[in-house]
Amino acid sequence: MFIIKSIELFEINLPLVHFFETSFGRTYERRIILVRIEDADGAEGWGEITCGEVPGYSEEWTDSAWATAEKILAPMVVGKSVDSAAGIWDLMKRVRGHRMAKSGIETACWDLEAKKLGVPLWRHLGGVNRTIECGVSIGIQDSIEQLIDKIAVEAVAGYRRIKIKIAPHWDYEVIKRVRAAFPDIQLMGDANSAYTLADIDKLRSLDEFDLMMLEQPLGFDDIIDHAKLQAQIKTPICLDEPIRSADDARKAIELRSGKIINIKNGRVGGHAQSKLVEQTCRENNIPAWCGGMLESGIGRAHNIAISTLAGYTMPGDVSASKRYWHEDIVEPAIEVSPDGTITAPDGPGIGFQVRRERINRAASRKVKI
Ligand code: OSB
Ligand code: MG
């Protein structure tokens, strides 16, 4: 049981080491919202709102999430006494959508609660595999040579699978060249909804490359056309954007819209919701993995913790801080072992120190509710 005394929001601006391009655009600098929760005993917890800078991946973006967290969600939570972090979701239930904003607050409460109990967050969430498998996501590049160079670096670093972003101008020929250069790597493509059913021949032609999966080829809110596509291609489809709840996962599984599910804390609304999606996947023998949103060390630490749950059976988008940031906001920075794994820390909560001075330096606005 704890009483939420205050919520602080920080917007920090962090330039990416290398731009990140998806089918919906290119990002050079992140505008990340961090959430700090303090309870009546003075304990603290940290979370991250993982929306993008534009409403391209989902409807949420930095300014909408800031306003929603500050004006709507924080007032629903501050001053409330809660039995456990798992119950935070219910306090915000009246608000539809805005799951990333909710997740920032909800995950901060899990960190706080685990710290108060003196246990690592991954254990508190019910994790079983302390060491998780890591993959990388590599954006669309200016040239195929540049992409191949990047893949070579990550393969040598030990990552267990390589995801490349694809789009209609950057698909068959690119994957063909990559496959020729790296015949044995575990390779997958993520289209972020860049195709429609009219592209079925093109998508079927990718079957020849033995991809682990094809992530989100069709509409961001679709699970019907994906079922039609899956029936006509061999490559397993992985759903990302349309799975916002355990119910969505159940329906997609029932319709056979895909064979794999990517779970993102932000997209589903926090750890309690991720646990429900994970359970649905596990009970239906659908492999799941943790998706990334170019997080700072705080969001990354939460991703590590949730990835230890039994249903997260495939390597996720959880990779080293240095791939994104010159200097992360947590200490130590998140590192990946030469065998492509991360072992969740055994300190209380997220298990990484939050660097307040670094956050203050990078912050462009703050508010306390
Ligand atoms: O679709 O998985 C996605 C990044 C931003 C928006 C959407 C996606 C991504 C990624 C994850 O691919 C990148 C990462 O955090 O490593
Ligand atoms: Mg994706």
Tens of pLDDT, residues 309-344: 999 999 999 999 999 999 999 999 999 999 999 999
pLDDT of residue 222: 98
Please indicate, yes or no, whether residues 112 and 130 belong to a single structural domain of this protein: no
How many angstroms does the Cα of residue 293 sit away from the middle of ligand 1?
A: 5
pLDDT of residue 305: 98
Domain presence at residue 183: yes
Distance, in Å, from the CA atom of 310 to the CA atom of 300, rounded to the nearest integer, reads 19
Amino acid at site 86: A
Q: For 265-282, what is the mean pLDDT?
A: 98
Please indicate, yes or no, whether residues 106 and 179 belong to a single structural domain of this protein: no
Structural domains in the chain (count): 2
Q: Would you place residue 37 in the very low, low, confident or very high pLDDT band (cuts 50, 70, 90)?
A: very high
Q: Would you place residue 101 in the very low, low, confident or very high pLDDT band (cuts 50, 70, 90)?
A: very high
Domain presence at residue 308: yes
pLDDT of residue 300: 98
Measured in degrees and rounded to the nearest 5, phi and psi for residue 23 equal: -65, -15
Q: Would you place residue 306 in the very low, low, confident or very high pLDDT band (cuts 50, 70, 90)?
A: very high
pLDDT of residue 276: 98
Please indicate, yes or no, whether residues 263 and 331 belong to a single structural domain of this protein: yes
pLDDT of residue 7: 98
Please indicate, yes or no, whether residues 166 and 17 belong to a single structural domain of this protein: no
Query: Where are the alpha helices (H) located in 206-337, listed in sequence order?
Result: 224-230, 246-255, 265-268, 271-283, 297-306
Please indicate, yes or no, whether residues 326 and 224 belong to a single structural domain of this protein: yes
* pTM of the predicted model over 0.85: yes
Pocket of ligand 1 (CB under 6 A): 22, 57, 137, 190, 192, 240, 291-294, 317, 319
How many angstroms does the Cα of residue 348 sit away from the middle of ligand 2?
A: 30
Q: Would you place residue 241 in the very low, low, confident or very high pLDDT band (cuts 50, 70, 90)?
A: very high
Q: Which H/E stretch holds residue 123?
A: helix 121-124
Please indicate, yes or no, whether residues 94 and 127 belong to a single structural domain of this protein: no
Catalytic option among 264, 322, 366, 368: 264
Query: Where do we find the tokens 């080491």?
Result: 17
pLDDT of residue 359: 97
Please indicate, yes or no, whether residues 214 and 292 belong to a single structural domain of this protein: yes
pLDDT of residue 184: 96
Tens of pLDDT, residues 245-262: 999 999 999 999 999 999
Q: Which H/E stretch holds residue 162?
A: strand 161-165
Please indicate, yes or no, whether residues 149 and 268 belong to a single structural domain of this protein: yes
Percent of the chain with pLDDT over 70: 100
Q: Around ion ligand 2, which residues have CB less than 5 A away?
A: 190, 215, 240
Please indicate, yes or no, whether residues 170 and 45 belong to a single structural domain of this protein: no
Domain that holds residue 194: 123-343
pLDDT of residue 171: 97
Domain presence at residue 161: yes
Do you know the residue count of the chain?
Answer: 369
* Domain CATH code at residue 319: 3.20.20.120
Please indicate, yes or no, whether residues 271 and 334 belong to a single structural domain of this protein: yes
- Across the chain, mean pLDDT equals 97
Percent of the chain with pLDDT over 90: 100
pLDDT of residue 88: 97
